[in-house]
Structure 1
Amino acid sequence: MHYSKLRISKDAASKLRALRQRTGLTPNLLCRIALMVSLEQGPLRDMHAPDEEGSEFNAYTLTGEYGALFAGMLRFVEEGAAPDRQLDDVALVGLLRGHIHRGVGMLSVRVRSALDVLTLIPEEAAA
């Protein structure tokens, strides 16, 4: 998945500002967490694509050195283990925006402080 910049929705950008104030975490880290929370819920299916009127992130700022890992997880969730067809970069970037949008919405309800972020980590992973 190749992109240099990614613009998220206006709604997600607004929720990220509130989450940043509550947690002290930077928007790029919150987006990574949001992406993982959304991927855990499964594919987006017929979800409408969010607008692109919010904050813009450089690819490296958003995913860091783990860009290929995030892309692989996104592809696995959206295409399945044995895909009939592979999604192109344009579709994957749209799905990335969609997962960030969905995940930020979920975080905005579940996270009230930095400690709440820790509750998102399964006990098995924390051990």
Structure 2
Amino acid sequence: MHINKFRISAAATGQVRVLAQRAGLTPNLICRMAMTASLEIGRISGASDEVAEGQEFNAYTLFGDYQPIFLDLLRLVEFGPDDVQVEDDELLKRLRQHIDRGVRQLAVRIKSPADAAELIAGSA
């Protein structure tokens, strides 16, 4: 699967804007941090029917040349090490859910640029 563009939820969009101001980081970096923080927790447990009406992201800007790695990590966390065939729409939905969950986590943890730096350095 190769993603070109995708949208996050409206709620996540608002939180990304707040986090970007607090931390002095771009929305793309916030979303990348959010996804990895959520993947670290594990599989998404509940299905969200929320329509993605928020900010649109260019996937290359978000993931760069590492998009296949991020998507493989997503598949591994969500479906395990087996080579499970998954619909592109389902994988994209899970990507949005991980970003949404991660943004909620970061909103609690990042109150200043120093908090973001500690989180990036791995000491938070």
Q: Same fold (TM over 0.5)?
A: yes
Report the 3-state secondary structure (helix = DSSP H, G, I; strand = E; otherwise coil) of the residue aligned with 1:57.
strand
CA deviation after TM superposition for structure 1 residue 44, in Å: 0.4
TM-score by length of 1: 0.88
Question: What is the alpha-carbon distance in structure 1 between the residues aligned to residue 81 and residue 100 of structure 2?
Answer: 24
Alignment of 1:5-44 (within 5 A): 5-44=5-44
Question: What is the alpha-carbon distance in structure 2 between the residues aligned to residue 86 and residue 106 of structure 1?
Answer: 30
Question: What is the alpha-carbon distance in structure 1 between the residues aligned to residue 29 and residue 115 of structure 2?
Answer: 14
CA deviation after TM superposition for structure 1 residue 47, in Å: 3.0
Q: Which residue in 1 is equivalent to 2:95?
A: 96
Q: Which residue in 2 is equivalent to 1:63?
A: 63
| CA offsets 1:42-83 (integer angstroms, 9 cap, x no match) | 010323143211100111112112111100100100011235
- Letter paired with 1:102: R
CA deviation after TM superposition for structure 1 residue 89, in Å: 1.3
Q: Which residue in 2 is equivalent to 1:2?
A: 2
Report the 3-state secondary structure (helix = DSSP H, G, I; strand = E; otherwise coil) of the residue aligned with 1:40.
helix
CA deviation after TM superposition for structure 1 residue 92, in Å: 0.7
Root-mean-square deviation (CA, aligned residues, Å) is 1.5
Query: Judging changes above 3 Å, is the alpha-carbon distance between structure 1 residues 11 and 55 closer, same or farther for their aligned structure 2 residues?
Result: same
Question: What is the alpha-carbon distance in structure 2 between the residues aligned to residue 50 and residue 110 of structure 1?
Answer: 24
| CA offsets 1:94-116 (integer angstroms, 9 cap, x no match) | 10001000000110111111221
What's the % identity of the aligned pairs?
Answer: 47
Unaligned 5+ residue runs, structure 2? none
TM-score by length of 2: 0.90
Question: What is the alpha-carbon distance in structure 2 between the residues aligned to residue 57 and residue 11 of structure 1?
Answer: 15
- Letter paired with 2:95: L
Q: Which moved more, 1:62-71 or 1:45-54?
A: 45-54
